[in-house]
Amino acid sequence: MTESEIQFLKGNIDNAVEIETIGGERLVASVLLVTCDAEYNEHDFTYQVVSTNMPEAYADRESAGGYILDFDDIVAIKPHS
C-alpha cells in the first residue's frame, strides 16, 4: 500500500471503505484500527465486515471485536459509495 492509501485508512476510522484482496474478496469494511509500525514490521488494520462476496470465509472465524487484514493482502481500496 502507498502512504496515501495508509493515510486514507487512518482518516476513515469508524467509516466504511471498499477493499479488494489478493484472494479475490470484495468487501465493505468498517475501519476500527490502523497499525503501521516499521520498527515491529506491523502493517495491518482491524475491521468489521459490513458486506462481502465471500461470507463463507467468516463462518468459522470469531471476530473478537474485529478481523485483521495485512496491507500486503490488499489489492485496491476506495471510499464506500
pLDDT at position 40: 65
Residues 3 and 73: beta-carbon distance below 8 Å: no
pLDDT in tens, 22-65: 999 999 999 999 998 877 678 999 999 999 999 998 888 777 77
Q: Which of 17, 14, 20 is nearest to 28 (CA)?
A: 17
Give the count of domains, the chain: 1
pLDDT at position 16: 97
Query: What is the reported pTM?
Result: 0.87
Task: Please tell me the total number of residues recorded for the chain in this structure.
Answer: 81
State how far the alpha carbon of 20 is from the alpha carbons of 3, 37, 57, 64, in Å: 18, 23, 14, 23
Q: What CATH number does the domain containing 33 carry?
A: 2.30.30.100
Instruction: Supply the range of the domain harboring residue 38.
Output: 3-79
